[in-house]
């Protein structure tokens, strides 16, 4: 069975003390049911050392960076490289989140560079893709997402892409309170898997975990995660509550 993953994206939230208490509370309360399930905490960069220490010895609980730079090193004040993350023992890194694309003008070409650097360092990219509202309203979401995958990932070998986690995030459902229906989530996840199968093979496509990211909450997580091609969620707001994120974790297949 593919890995079923509850990934928390804290974004720019929580003081150090609040983050430490939040992580402690979740680790004390979560209960993963099977070896195929795991939890990933994408914490602010300043908190990575603390989070790595707290998850030490906690089976199937991992830490992710929320981003890395698309160059390996250089005069990029304030940025973080993939090799820096590797040197700290960070196993995962989110790239291509819609907020990074929109606010920081990240392109598919930049994301291809980030993907290469992370894989070179042995870090698993959590690659985000998804369409804005105007594309969805024109029913152009399938082509839009397929182009994102093609431009940023399809230079990879079958072995390389098998190491990636994909997170589908309908941009119109992030932080808006709107959520794609379970059927809409399944349709896009199936489309992503079919696109991967066409480029690589059905075997490769079936091995890749695809997460849903878009206002996942305790009251909708089980229905969304229950879809055959949905392998968990990339969770924003609900990951900032011990009770809410614990409930989301328990909703994993």
Task: Kindly list the catalytic residues.
Answer: 97, 169
Q: Cα angle at 7 between 19 and 205, to 5 degrees?
A: 160
Q: What three-state secondary structure class fits 43? A: coil
Of 26, 210, 209, the C-alpha closest to 130 is 210
For residue 93, the surrounding DSSP H or E stretch is strand 92-95
CA-CA distance, 43 to 45, in Å (whole number)? 6
CA-CA distance, 248 to 169, in Å (whole number)? 17
Of 245, 83, 99, the C-alpha closest to 232 is 245
- Strand segments (E) across 32-114: 37-42, 61-65, 92-95
């Amino acid at each position: 069975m593919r890995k079923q993953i509850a990934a928390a994206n804290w974004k720019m939230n929580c003081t150090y003390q609040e983050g430490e208490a939040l992580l402690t509370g979740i680790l004390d309360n979560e209960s993963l049911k099977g070896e195929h399930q795991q939890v990933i905490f994408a914490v602010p960069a300043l908190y990575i050392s603390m989070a790595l220490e707290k998850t030490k010895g906690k089976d199937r609980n991992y830490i992710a960076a929320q981003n890395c730079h698309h160059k390996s090193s250089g005069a990029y004040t304030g940025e973080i490289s993939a090799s820096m993350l590797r040197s700290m023992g960070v196993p995962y890194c989110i790239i291509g989140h819609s907020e990074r694309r929109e606010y920081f003008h990240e392109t598919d070409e930049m994301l291809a560079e980030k993907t290469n650097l992370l894989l070179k360092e042995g870090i698993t990219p959590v690659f985000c893709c998804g369409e804005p509202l105007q594309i969805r309203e024109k029913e152009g979401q399938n082509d839009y997402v397929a182009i994102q995958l093609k431009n940023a990932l399809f230079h990879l070998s079958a072995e390389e892409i098998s190491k990636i986690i994909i997170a589908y995030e309908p941009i119109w459902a992030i932080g808006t309170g709107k959520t794609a229906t379970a059927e809409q989530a399944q349709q896009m996840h199936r489309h992503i898997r079919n696109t991967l199968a066409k480029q690589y093979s059905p075997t490769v496509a079936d091995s890749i975990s695809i997460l849903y990211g878009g206002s996942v909450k305790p009251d909708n997580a089980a229905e969304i995660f229950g879809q055959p091609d949905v392998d968990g969620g990339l969770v924003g707001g609900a990951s900032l509550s011990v009770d809410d994120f614990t409930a989301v974790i328990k909703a994993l297949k």
